[in-house]
Structure 1
Amino acid sequence: YVMNNSLFFVPMKKILLSVIATVVIVGGGAFFGGMQYATSQTPDMGDLASRFGNFDPSQRLGMSGGPGGFARSQADGGFVSGEILSMDAESMTIKLPDGGSKLIFFSDVSKINKMTEGSLADLATGTTITVTGTSNDDGSVTASTFQILPDMSLHSSEGAGEEGSSFSTPPVSPTVE
């Protein structure tokens, strides 16, 4: 027995059970709170998939800094990759990997990049490019950077390693500002 306030005697088992119950309740609450915090810090994979959903694996490799690519993302949402279908002095239309198309506008701050710095003259119908910029309300993109990519057929593994195969990986030393 333990004396409590000199008037009551409390059995030791009751005190021990109370301490254990308190520890379990506080520990469980702390664990639950930690799990909720960790869940709130995990990126939404649906958002990630929507950013890269229209690219095949070789194009994703290019976006991550692999052959012909660069490791840079734009938080303002306008990331497009595909083949130039048509263009004029103010805009171009790009064929997307899923067969759709996207209208791209040039801006005063648009940069055209390739293995070396490029210019508007380097962009032509049939060129495969990646565009970063700002998404517009109508679904078009105002470009801030263009990346000219090597011919996408170079990324195909079909025939790779076979004698007489034309598959090769071009040397890469991209400069991105």
Structure 2
Amino acid sequence: MKNNTIITIVLLVIVGAVAFFAGIKYQQGQRPASFGQFGDGQGQRPGNNRNGGLRPVVGQILNSDDKSITIKLQDGSSVIAILSSNTSINKADQASLADLKNGERVAVYGQTNADGSVTAQNIQLNPMLRGENSTPPASPTTNQ
């Protein structure tokens, strides 16, 4: 009788261990329902926030041409944003390359290149970013 109890306990431990490891292997083969469902393998939809998850380069346009714009950053440095036929330019409505004028405030979303320039995917004119004051700065006045 004592041998039957020991054999039963050993068999239960073995069955429990096999079931535990089988469950682990099964779970490893499963993917979360939302993982990669949008086709980019990251589980995040590109362009979902209009910026594709990229950090913006924000500042004033110093110079612009058909292929790039140079943006002056708040720290005084500048970044070149490279434009392509796929670059979208927006204000409150769709905008165009002609709307990129020197002195305009912009937010450029794109991939940063090795040389520090940015390949623009989206440019927003007069962007309102998180934490910014909603009123534009007053134009300077001179006292005479």
TM-score, normalised relative to structure 2: 0.56
Shift of 1:104: 0.5
Q: 1:146 aligns with which of 107, 112, 123?
A: 123
> How large is the RMSD of aligned CA atoms in angstroms?
4.1
Name the residue aligned to 1:117: 94
Shift of 1:12: 1.9
- Kept in 2, the 8 Å contact 1:81–1:128? The answer is no
Shift of 1:115: 0.9
> Distance in 2 between the 1:94 and 1:37 partners?
48
- Kept in 1, the 8 Å contact 2:62–2:72? The answer is no
Name the residue aligned to 2:142: none
Q: 1:83 aligns with which of 59, 84, 87?
A: 59
Name the residue aligned to 1:25: 17
Name the residue aligned to 1:57: none
Identity of aligned residues (%): 30
User: CA-to-partner distance for each residue in 1:21-59, whole Å, 9 max, x for gaps?
Assistant: 114423543565578779x97x9xxxxxxxxxxxxxxxx
For structure 1, the residue ranges without an aligned partner over 5 or more in a row are: 2-9, 44-64, 158-165, 168-177
Q: For residue 11 of structure 2, what is the amino acid of its counterpart?
A: V
Shift of 1:84: 2.2
1:22-171 mapped onto 2 (5 Å cutoff): 22-30=14-22, 71-74=49-52, 79-89=55-65, 90-96=67-73, 100-150=77-127, 155-156=132-133
User: CA-to-partner distance for each residue in 1:47-100, whole Å, 9 max, x for gaps?
Assistant: xxxxxxxxxxxxxxxxxx9xxxx723448xx65330124122132222446765
- Kept in 2, the 8 Å contact 1:84–1:124? The answer is no
> Distance in 2 between the 1:74 and 1:155 partners?
21
In structure 2, the CA distance between the partners of 1:154 and 1:16, relative to structure 1 (3 Å rule), is closer
In structure 2, the CA distance between the partners of 1:35 and 1:103, relative to structure 1 (3 Å rule), is farther
User: CA-to-partner distance for each residue in 1:132-152, whole Å, 9 max, x for gaps?
Assistant: 334433231222321223456
Name the residue aligned to 2:139: none
Q: For residue 11 of structure 1, what is the amino acid of its counterpart?
A: N
In structure 2, the CA distance between the partners of 1:126 and 1:34, relative to structure 1 (3 Å rule), is farther
Name the residue aligned to 2:40: none
Q: For residue 116 of structure 1, what is the amino acid of its counterpart?
A: D
> Distance in 1 between the 2:116 and 2:28 partners?
36
* Structure (1 or 2) with the greater helix fraction: 1
